[in-house]
Amino acid sequence: MLKRENATRLEMGPPRGKICVFGSISVTLVLKPACLDACLCPCFGQFVLNRSQQMPSLSLRINLDPEGRLGPGKVDLLENIAAFGSISAAARGMDMSYKRAWDLVEEMNRLFPAPLVAAKTGGKKGGGAELTPAGLSVVTRFRAIERAALAVAEPHLAALQKDISGD
């Protein structure tokens, strides 16, 4: 149980912070505490975090069109597919249902002109999946954008951390 004087309440709501629009691609940076898994307060429907546990972090989401976004979860899924060679193994590794993983893969494949994941039909030796050159490119570009955004934001995150901790 957290002491009231050491707690901060964070309203849950839509991410804010759109910083750039490049043609039909917009980039949204979401500032969130790294320990967002803390606890959901049933009384207030809000996260209650201990101030000493808070650590600002940056999460990048790229809005590709009104219906499609690319964020860290989808990129993690792509990286796990590359690592495990299988959509189902990638899903298991992320505690996600196979159906959810497959739906996300299909969505990503529709968003880009070339598919990001190539699935092989199952059989005696099993199926499998691998990233296409387009998939590898998307992962590489997303991680590069993420690193660049973090490099620019680091001094501001450190200052925000001082504000949060009261130093």
Q: Determine the Cα–Cα distance for residues 122 and 60; give it in Å rounded to an integer.
A: 34
The residues with which 128 forms a beta bridge, in sequence order, are 120
Report, as an integer, the average pLDDT of 5-31: 40
The residues with which 10 forms a beta bridge, in sequence order, are 47
Structural domains of the chain, ranges and CATH numbers in brackets: 1-69 (no CATH), 71-138 (1.10.10.10)
Strands (E), 66-114: 68-70
The predicted-structure confidence for 74-107, as pLDDT tens digits, reads as follows: 999 999 999 999 999 999 999 999 999 999 999 9
* Banded pLDDT at 123 (limits 50, 70, 90): low
Write the CB contacts of 117 (distance below 8 Å, at least 6 apart in sequence): 78, 81, 87, 105, 108, 109, 129, 130, 131, 132, 135
- Give residue 161's identity as a one-letter amino acid code: Q
